[in-house]
Amino acid sequence: MSDPAIFLLLLVLLLSLLAAGVWVAISLMLMALAGLVLFTNAPAGLVLATTLWGHSHSWPLAALPLFILMGEILLRSRLSQDMFSGLAPWLGRAPGGLLHVNVLGCAIFAAVSGSSAATAATIGRMSVPELTKRGYPESLILGTLAGSATLGLLIPPSIILIVYGVATEQSIARLFVAGILPGLMLVGLFAGYVAVRAWLDPTLIPDEPAGGTLVEKLRASRRLIPVLLLIGGVIGTIYTGVASPTDAAAIGVVLAVLLALSSGGFGWAEFKDALLSATRTSCMIAFILLGAAFLSIAMGFTGIPRNLAAWIGTFDLSPYALLAVLTVFFILLGCFLDGISVVVLTTSIILPMVQAVGIDPLWFGIYLVLVVEMSQITPPVGFNLFVIQGLTGIDILRVARAALPFFGLLLLGTLLITVFPQIVTVLPDAMGN
């Protein structure tokens, strides 16, 4: 049986397991076991045991639960309540008015939570009722929320970038830094779209009162400023090399606790909830990573990734043609799986093909996150669409229609980093090794 045929057979097995509701991690391990038992002479049980033991401890991976815990702590502080009141005085008179609260609020919270679903739920719970009450159009309220919430996957400290870094042995610090400019680019694209819509049809946006004096604006934002300083400090220490991502995450947790305590409304019960939630999320991701590690080792024994890369090489695809094919593949896959599962499922097979045509794995990590972001707002299983539907009770087709322009903007962002890869690489190159 040829390698492409074996790969398709194993892929059908995996999709069948996932469709049956089997956990992603278990599905990956069963796919790997099938590959080892059916198509190699390797001792499957021994490979499984040594792989799980060898990958069950990783210092770079220690940053993952710490960043998740930092986000959970700030999520339970008064950050979400203070977000609207802190941003509104600055943005009320901008073209597009308070719709920019969705864009910038999601960008700020994305840097806290690292999760697009958490970002959509938290910011949406606060902004949707307020913007609806003020008379903003439903399509722009839902669209800005759905599109901007995807920033949780990209803006550092990003959980999915940590997962990609561990799975591909890339520097997590360099990946974080590489995500900064693309993240800001997307914020600019989203805000620019809202501003253009407001200029083209001024009747869409209700008039907002002036935001007051500079002192009044600063007073309204006083609780937001420490959070911005915390995020900037965490990323800054990583960028300057003062601290590793794991060290910076540990400091971030301590400062997040102090910030949450000082803001009020955060006590032992909230801390316990944050700890349990972070533990559940971290264990889920770690379990998936173990399954992916076993799959990667099993695929190495079968030789499928190497041979598949060589087979695709016979088509003589240019890097751009390969990226076009992969973009469609990842968007389709992301419609049925969450972003972390997409990354760990595909890297062991896709990365050899990508490197064979000369694509930088660091750049590819940011590209992959951007494409996975698109899948978060693509029916039938765009996670952000379901979050917003559950939040508002609005039909999912209306939510998807509102998110469509932002899908286009994400596609434009992917095109821009492909044509101008320096958007991704300039900061990591300046950072050095």
Q: What is the pLDDT of residues 255-295, one digit of tens each?
A: 888 888 887 778 888 889 989 988 887 887 778 778 877 87
pLDDT mean over 79-89: 70
- Cα 379 to the center of its chain, rounded Å: 18
pLDDT at 347: 79
Cβ–Cβ under 8 Å, residues 378 and 326: no
Nearest 5°: the CA angle 394, 204, 213 is: 110
Nearest 5°: the CA angle 383, 386, 391 is: 130
pLDDT at 337: 65
Percent of the chain residues past pLDDT 70, beyond the cut: 90
Percent of the chain residues past pLDDT 90, beyond the cut: 12
pLDDT at 102: 83
Written as one letter, the residue type at 85 is S
Upstream peptide bond of 43 is cis (omega within 30 degrees of 0): no
Q: Is the dihedral of CA 379, 419, 235, 365 positive or negative?
A: positive
Burial status of residue 48 (CB atoms within 10 A of its CB: 0-12, 13-18, 19 or more): middle
Cβ–Cβ under 8 Å, residues 409 and 376: no
Written as one letter, the residue type at 332 is L
Between CA 373 and CA 369 the distance in angstroms is 6
Between CA 36 and CA 38 the distance in angstroms is 6
Other CB atoms closer than 10 Å to residue 430's CB: what's the count? 9
pLDDT at 405: 92
Q: For residue 321, what are the domain limits?
A: 3-431
Cβ–Cβ under 8 Å, residues 109 and 231: no
User: Would you put residue 199 in left (φ > 0), alpha (ψ -120 to 50) or beta?
Assistant: alpha
pLDDT mean over 61-71: 78
pLDDT at 408: 92
pLDDT at 419 over 90: yes
- Return the exposure string of 210-230: e unless at least 16 CB atoms fall within 10 Å of the residue's CB, then b: ebeeeeeeeebbebbeebeeb
pLDDT at 423: 94
Cβ–Cβ under 8 Å, residues 189 and 150: no
| H or E segment and range at residue 55 | none
pLDDT at 114 over 70: no
Task: Tell me how far CA of residue 390 lies from CA of 124, 338, 380, 383, 384, in angstroms.
Answer: 11, 18, 15, 11, 10
Q: What is the pLDDT of residues 329-347, one digit of tens each?
A: 888 776 656 677 778 777 7
SS (H, E, C) 269-286: HHHHHHHHHHHHHHHHHH
pLDDT at 178: 92
pLDDT bucket at 433, cuts 50 / 70 / 90: low
pLDDT at 87: 75
Within 13 Å of residue 331, how many CA atoms lie on the same side as its CB? 17
Other CB atoms closer than 10 Å to residue 321's CB: what's the count? 12
Q: Which of 361, 345, 332, 336 is nearest to 305 (CA)?
A: 345
pLDDT bucket at 410, cuts 50 / 70 / 90: very high
Burial status of residue 360 (CB atoms within 10 A of its CB: 0-12, 13-18, 19 or more): middle
**pTM as predicted:** 0.75
Q: What is the pLDDT of residues 357-367, one digit of tens each?
A: 888 999 999 99
Q: What are phi and psi of 332, to 5 degrees?
A: -65, -45
Q: Which of 289, 298, 375 is nearest to 7 (CA)?
A: 298
Written as one letter, the residue type at 114 is G
Between CA 195 and CA 91 the distance in angstroms is 12
pLDDT at 213 over 60: yes
Task: Tell me how far CA of residue 154 lies from CA of 88, 106, 367, in angstroms.
Answer: 24, 12, 10
Q: Which of 57, 32, 67, 100 is nearest to 298 (CA)?
A: 32
User: Would you put residue 114 in left (φ > 0), alpha (ψ -120 to 50) or beta?
Assistant: left
Our count of domains for the chain comes to 1
Structure tokens at 395: 């039909």
Cβ–Cβ under 8 Å, residues 61 and 289: yes
